[in-house]
């Protein structure tokens, strides 16, 4: 893992430029999973992501959350984290933003 995540730096700069606070600790990975770039089956991606992230409800509860990622492929990661934000974090709303999209080999 990189010392500084480029997506974190972009999120912080974007938040600063539009005056919206950025909280990087609302969701964190708690289980190592293999890189998903070589996993093409959506169901397998969801299986690998199951229980991989923990939502800090004390940070996100009743908040509008922008889920920000650098790459959108199948939507499995964003869908898994969005479900956790609603189910475990009791967020008000989730919006998603990805910087790039790649083609899937489905």
Q: Within 1-106, where are the H helices?
A: 6-18, 42-49, 57-60, 76-89
Q: What is the per-residue pLDDT for 25?
A: 93
Specify the pTM. 0.84
Q: Token pair for residue 94?
A: 């989730």
Segment 35-89, tens digit of pLDDT: 888 898 999 999 999 999 999 999 999 999 999 888 888 899 999 999 999 999 9
Residue 47 CB-half CA count within 13 A: 6
Q: What is the per-residue pLDDT for 106?
A: 52
Question: What residues contact residue 15 under an 8 Å CB cut-off, 6+ apart?
Answer: 21, 22
User: What residue ranges do the domains of the chain occupy?
Assistant: 6-99
**Contact call for residues 11 and 22 (beta carbons, < 8 A):** yes
**Contact call for residues 71 and 99 (beta carbons, < 8 A):** yes
pLDDT score of 2 more than 70: no
Q: What is the per-residue pLDDT for 103?
A: 64
């Amino acid at each position: 893992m990189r010392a500084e995540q480029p997506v974190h730096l972009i999120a912080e700069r974007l938040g600063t430029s539009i005056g919206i606070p950025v909280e990087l600790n609302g969701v964190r990975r708690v289980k190592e999973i293999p890189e998903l770039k070589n996993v093409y089956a959506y169901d397998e991606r969801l299986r690998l992501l199951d229980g991989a992230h923990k939502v800090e409800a004390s940070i996100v509860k009743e908040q509008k959350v922008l889920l920000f990622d650098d790459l959108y492929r199948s939507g499995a990661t964003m869908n898994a984290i969005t479900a956790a934000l609603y189910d475990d974090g009791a967020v008000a709303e989730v919006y998603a933003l990805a910087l790039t999209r790649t083609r899937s080999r489905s």
